[in-house]
Structure 1
């Protein structure tokens, strides 16, 4: 048994680190969401911010846009040119994906400074691509509403998760200690 533990020590260390970091960050995020229920931003500040930024970007592209609180659920309704197209829920704000990204990078940590800056730059990139994804999805739903299923469940998740996968592979191959 000891020989097996020694042989698979890096794998066990990765799994344990990933689970601890992911669990801790997820608990902290859920605590934040619970605290947000009482706040002035609906449904929570990050989702509110994503909704606001989505509206601003859509208006830059010439679309008359409103982001309205959903009366029956914690989400923001996306209304483009008077058409209710979609809703931005907490799961659309990118935070859960960033937590997943961070957990993996920390589990394969390199030097502290490199790890910290990679997480910072990667998180900003994921947030930005996610925001652009919501804008393009909204435009796509406005012009091609019959493609909703394909756009929402295949194309745009592939973009955001594909980006995270590429960031992970770049991290492991360039900066993590495991590569050394």
Structure 2
């Protein structure tokens, strides 16, 4: 029992982190099982992510088109008549946002600043993800020899590195507030 008392903060963090992560993952899985849509194929979130990615690519000056994939639940993004990228459910950043949110809740301060940071961080992660998909699509079009490096290494590092940076910002802010409260 002494070890539990000594590690109460760690146990609390792990309980909140994993509890939140599991709960939100189950909710998201329920959504995926029930949200299939012909109008917003394959489901609304992934469809909107593909649509926003298409629009951003157009802002970069490329002719682009998005169509539903026939072979699997994804949207195909193409540049100049050539389809290069499949936007699947795993590309929509929802799982990344769930991971981010679980960590922030595990280091919860007051509800107002915690929820504000979760909202701002989730919006930034979503926007960063759209940028990631757009740059990946353009990168595959412009330098196709580096497709595997970009998709498998650089762009996952891009999004997860950004989440890690947000966590660091939160922890630094959390520690400053904690130390000020105990002065």
Query: Displaced runs of 4+ in structure 1, greater than 3 A?
Result: 176-180
Residue pair 1:172, 1:178 contacting (<8 A) in 2 also? no
After TM superposition, list the pairs within 5 Å mapping 1:118-133 onto structure 2: 118-133=117-132
Q: Deviations over 1:8-55 (max 9, x none)?
A: 111111101111100111111111111112563111111100111111
After TM superposition, list the pairs within 5 Å mapping 1:35-114 onto structure 2: 35-38=34-37, 40-114=39-113
TM-score normalised per structure 1: 0.95
Residue pair 1:25, 1:99 contacting (<8 A) in 2 also? yes
Range with bigger deviation, 57-66 or 7-16: 57-66
Q: Name structure 2 gaps, 5 residues minimum.
A: none
- 1:11 corresponds to 2:10: yes
- Structure-2 separation of matches of 1:104 and 1:61: 34
1:115 corresponds in structure 2 to: 114
Using a 3 Å threshold, how does the CA distance of structure 1 residues 60 and 38 change in structure 2: closer, same or farther? closer
Range with bigger deviation, 161-170 or 35-44: 35-44
TM-score normalised per structure 2: 0.94
Query: How many aligned residue pairs are there?
Result: 179
